[in-house]
Amino acid sequence: MDPLEILRTRRSIREYADKEIAKDLLEKIVDAGRFAPTARNVQPWEFVVITQAPTLKKLAELAENGRFLDRAKACIAVFCADTKYYLEDGCAATCNIMLAAAALGIGSCWVAGDKKPYCADVAKLLNAPAGYKLVSLVSLGYPKSKDSFNIAQKRGLKELIHWEKF
């Protein structure tokens, strides 16, 4: 698929088909995350891939905006070492993960991390070492149907582009 088409058509998917995601596809998705831009090439990220239903259920209970995680077939928790640019680096990795999933026909949804009150509980559940911050939880699954998402209306380019000055 054309990369620009992936950017235009990727949407958050929260309803998933009952179809497992092959381990090699999950590895490809994480591999895309590690190729994200990173300040000073620090690469502070670590990725925890969760596929076990009981753990997905517990994550759904912890993350108030991620109640659908228990219906996902996998979740990637993006953690970063607490460096100066951990949030920027972790967000870039999260975007790469979601775009790679879309390229493979797998739906995803970014569940916020970092400043959420459940971060410490998620870190404990997933045995994250001290000094690592949860940047995101990315749910993954094949879309339940073509009606699983709506293409949101985006602001027109002419409404938001500015040349030389705001």
Residue 146 pLDDT > 90, yes or no?
no
Structural domain count of the chain: 1
Average pLDDT over residues 103-109: 97
Q: What is the pLDDT of residue 145?
A: 82
Whether residue 163 lies inside any domain: the answer is no
Average pLDDT over residues 65-93: 98
Whether residue 80 lies inside any domain: the answer is yes
Whether residue 74 lies inside any domain: the answer is yes
Residue 148 pLDDT > 80, yes or no?
no
Tell me the sheet residues that pair with 50: 75
Q: What is the pLDDT of residue 151?
A: 66
CATH number of the domain that 56 lies in?
3.40.109.10
Whether residue 137 lies inside any domain: the answer is yes
Whether residue 130 lies inside any domain: the answer is yes
What is the spatial distance between Cα 158 and Cα 143, in angstroms, rounded to a whole number? 32
In this prediction the pTM is 0.94
**Collapsed DSSP state (helix, strand, coil) of residue 38:** coil
Whether residue 45 lies inside any domain: the answer is yes
What is the spatial distance between Cα 67 and Cα 48, in angstroms, rounded to a whole number? 19
Whether residue 136 lies inside any domain: the answer is yes
pLDDT confidence bin for 149, thresholds 50/70/90: low
The domain in which residue 113 lies consists of 3-146
- Lowest-pLDDT range of 8-17, 80-89, 122-131, 145-154: 145-154
* Buried-exposed string 46-82: b where 16+ CB fall within 10 A, e elsewhere: bbbbbeeeebbebbbebbeebebbbbbbbbbbbbbbe
Whether residue 52 lies inside any domain: the answer is yes
Phi, psi for residue 113 in degrees, rounded to 5: -135, -135
